[in-house]
Structure 1
């Protein structure tokens, strides 16, 4: 199991997507951002965000203080005026999306009851699912994380009272119990989960899934059927959550991971849409109570606004943060359009992540 480290963080992180200063990018959140501000945190591991005491295994001498850092940061921000905010949104993507779910109730309790407080989880709906070998790769990984870092003491008791700690680290067992309104933004064919949970190399020793794992266009009909089953499992996992009028959903049928952090997927002329509504507008409508948002896309491959991700043949996932912080450090990620063309060939903006160098820097083409 790979242990994430801050050394793998991007050296330069642009403020784009949901945190962009450009009024056109924020779609209804601009005045709010100008008046109240927006803060971004780099995190390395969701689990560390939940550990409140130092734990130092003799062999590794590791210290897990994520919960203390979270609380110290919130205390500092509150002292600088955040406690007077009229509205607050806790958001995160990937591991940060899971962290937003896990901390949502705690975040709500930091503000007066008169403050509008909601949470947004982008690409944080990690499912407890069976991999292509019949095993449970992600459950095994999460079990190791929970055990190593002692996360169980800070997981919601409403869950741990009837489920084991590892199960309570999976958002599907938490989201229906979150008190503040919560918005789930997720690709139905989450590319990180395909690579690291559904069809990782460890579950595919003969490489049958290798090409499909890196490029959905190379999946066989039987592999697509397997991935359709994953989509069905995701939709079943959110049924109870979706029954609440306060919650929001945007589940699109892409092979992607993280959509609120990028201009092209968050809010642009060619951004993904469901029923003619892009992600940013959907989130804005939900946050400001302009409309209820329960947007679920039709199955692959009927959506013509998709921004799928294709990975170079040298790319292989490594650890829990393989796609996000560069832990794998190999290969390239190329965004393509629905017709299999690279985005720049279709007249669209292209984003690539170059993990071939030691600094794992992000490049734009």
Structure 2
């Protein structure tokens, strides 16, 4: 069957939800929430994919002020460039065979706390609003009003900070739909593990704790988790996922480049910069440094295995030295990232439709490698 009039994914425009401002659902700078929507066709008209791109977080007032002025629009919908629909968002069947004709939505990220913050008070001195949870709700409600409420199959996904958001908001997202709607979540490069850095410390803990405190994120995190430990820890998938009921599929590298640089071999844990060349170019790694990276991989795998014991969860953990794999060629076309001869797209499809369990880890490659 030919679909000759499908518009190019690159032409998808940004939609602003002006009406959300009155509800206090706004970006860091007070601008309205935004999304990009490419309508489904063929047998995908009743299926929806909502994807949240990455962009890190802001953990201090100064950091958030800087963030809202970025040209990437990570704190303001006034500055957002249009995102191309690629990988799992593509409308080309040869690039995205299982989702290409679904209704596909970019939920644009502009709050700095993975859509979890909700502080009523406005920082008028710096014109800052911490309202990510309301932004999430406003966009989902808008999508429901334009047809998503009648969906048969729905997938919430995200990359990096958006991947973490797909975990932390998974149960809430599921709650928008009737029980007979199949709803699941995919986290790409969003499984940030609670592991020690090079110096043997948990320094990254402080960073997540500051995010949760500044944005008032605690009430958006699983209450069973926050009642048992510091809410900052519940921002970690390790501790949050045991309390999340909706099925989640984890796509991650055991050698995620962002995690290696910002959680493991950080400037604080490596003050002399001995790991700098290695983390920027694997060819520069010494035997000792590769062994340290293998230790990080072991810690990561231990962290993931503790929360993927349920048969409803899915997992695709490879050793590609990269960050985010669903919005590029590794989603379907790149053979170097296959596990058990299946691409990420095929593994997610098997899991989503309950064709078979899919919890695969790359045991062939011990060292990180470029895919």
Task: Give the TM-score normalised by structure 2.
Answer: 0.76
* 1:189-218 residue CA offsets vs partner (Å, 9 max, x unmatched): 010011111112232221111101211221
**Residues 48, 149 of structure 1: 8 Å contact kept:** no
Out of 83, 86, 97, the residue aligned to residue 152 of structure 2 is: 86
Q: Is the 8 Å Cα contact of residues 45 and 95 (structure 1) preserved in structure 2?
A: no
CA shift, 1:78, in A, is 0.9
* More off after superposition, 103-112 vs 266-275: 266-275
Match of 2:324 in 1: 258
Matches within 5 A, 1:199-210: 199-210=265-276
Structure 1 residue corresponding to 2:106, chosen from 4, 26, 40: 40
Other-structure match for 2:352? 287
Partners of 2:222 and 2:359 lie apart in 1 by 26
1:24 maps to which residue? 94
Indicate which of 227, 243, 247 corresponds to 2:313. 247
Residue 231 of structure 1 deviates from its aligned partner by 1.3
Among 226, 234, 237, the residue aligned to 1:168: 234
Q: 123, 132, 137: which is aligned to 1:66?
A: 132
Match of 1:11 among 75, 81, 99: 81
| Residues 232-283 of structure 1 deviation map (CA, whole Å, 9 limit, x = unaligned) | 1222122233221111000001211100011x21111545101211111111
Q: Is the 8 A contact 2:156 2:166 kept in 1?
A: yes
Q: Distance in 2 between matches of 1:153 and 1:230?
A: 31
Q: C-alpha distance in 2, partners of 1:99/1:57?
A: 24
Kindly indicate whether the alpha-carbon contact (under 8 Å) linking 1:48 and 1:65 is maintained by their aligned counterparts in 2: no
Query: CA–CA distance in 1 between the matches of 2:345 and 2:363?
Result: 19
Match of 2:281 in 1: 215
Quote how far apart the aligned CAs of 1:302 are.
6.7
Task: Please list the CA deviations of residues 153-191 of structure 1 after superposition, one character each: whole Å capped at 9, or x if unmatched.
Answer: 221102112111111010111122221111000000010
How is 1:1-365 mapped onto 2 (pairs within 5 angstroms)? 2-3=63-64, 4-5=67-68, 7-9=70-72, 11-31=81-101, 33=102, 37-45=103-111, 47=113, 49-57=115-123, 60-262=126-328, 264-268=329-333, 270=335, 272-298=337-363, 300-301=365-366, 308=370, 337=371
Residues 200 and 19 of structure 1: CA distance in aligned 2, closer, same or farther (over 3 Å): same
Q: Is the 8 A contact 1:123 1:185 kept in 2?
A: yes
| In structure 2, distance between residues paired with 1:23 and 1:125 | 28
Q: Distance in 1 between matches of 2:121 and 2:165?
A: 20
Distance 2:237 2:97 in 1: 28
Q: How many residues align?
A: 301
Partner of 1:50, secondary structure, is coil
Q: Report if aligned partners of 1:48, 1:64 keep a CA contact under 8 Å in 2.
A: no
Determine the structure 1 residue equivalent to 2:50. none
Q: What residue is the counterpart of 1:343 in the other structure? A: none
Which of structures 1 and 2 has the larger relative contact order (alpha carbons within 8 angstroms, sep 6+)?
A: 1
Post-superposition shift, 1:20? Answer: 0.4
Give the TM-score taking structure 1 as reference length: 0.77
| CA gap 1:299/1:154 in 2 versus in 1, 3 angstroms | same
Q: 1: distance between equivalents of 2:364 and 2:160? A: 22
How large is the Cα RMSD of the aligned pairs? 2.0
Distance of 1:48 and 1:103 partners within structure 2:
9
User: In structure 2, what is the equivalent of residue 318 of structure 1?
Assistant: none
Q: Mean Cα displacement is larger for which, 196-205 or 102-111? A: 196-205
**CA distance, structure 2, for counterparts of residue 210 and residue 140 of structure 1:** 23
